[in-house]
Amino acid sequence: MIVVLRNPDREVRLAGRHRVKELLQELKVIPETVLVIRGKELLTSDQVVGEDDVIEVRPVISGGVR
């Protein structure tokens, strides 16, 4: 599977099927800080992503002055 990470944009390739929760643990990402997106759907932590999926892990945290 291809995992697209943002800020800065980059890609990570992972083999096999993963539960979203385990995927985020592997990437050392706090679940509360990202949306996990497959195509046009949001994924919850219990969903399984497969070998052929392209997954975007989009950060939701904004910094600086608001």
Partner 1 sequence: MKCRKCGESAVIELRRHNTAYCADDFVAFFRHYTVETIRKWKMFEKEEPILVAVSGGKDSLALWDVLTLEGYRTTGLYLDLGIDEYSKGSRAKCEAFASERGAKLEVIPVIEEVGASIPEVQIATRRPTCSACGLSKRYLTNQAALARGFAVVATGHNLDDEAATLFGSVLRWQEEALSRQSPVLPASSPKLARRVKPLFRLTELETAAYSFLRGIDYIVEECPFSKGATSLHYKEVLNRLEAHAPGTKHAFLLGYLDRIRPAFKRGQEVTLRECIRCGQATTSELCAFCRLVDEVSHKSHTISGPVSAGA
> How many angstroms separate the CA atoms of 11 and 4, rounded?
5
**6 touches partner 1 (CB under 8 A):** yes
Binding-site string for partner 1 from residue 25 to residue 44, where x marks contact by CB under 8 A and - marks none? -----xxxxxx-x---xxxx
> How many angstroms separate the CA atoms of 21 and 42, rounded?
13
> How many angstroms separate the CA atoms of 36 and 8, rounded?
16
**15 touches partner 1 (CB under 8 A):** no
> How many angstroms separate the CA atoms of 51 and 8, rounded?
24
**63 touches partner 1 (CB under 8 A):** yes
Q: How many residues bind partner 1 (CB under 8 A)?
A: 25
Q: List residues near partner 1 by CB under 8 A.
A: 6-7, 30-35, 37, 41-47, 58-66
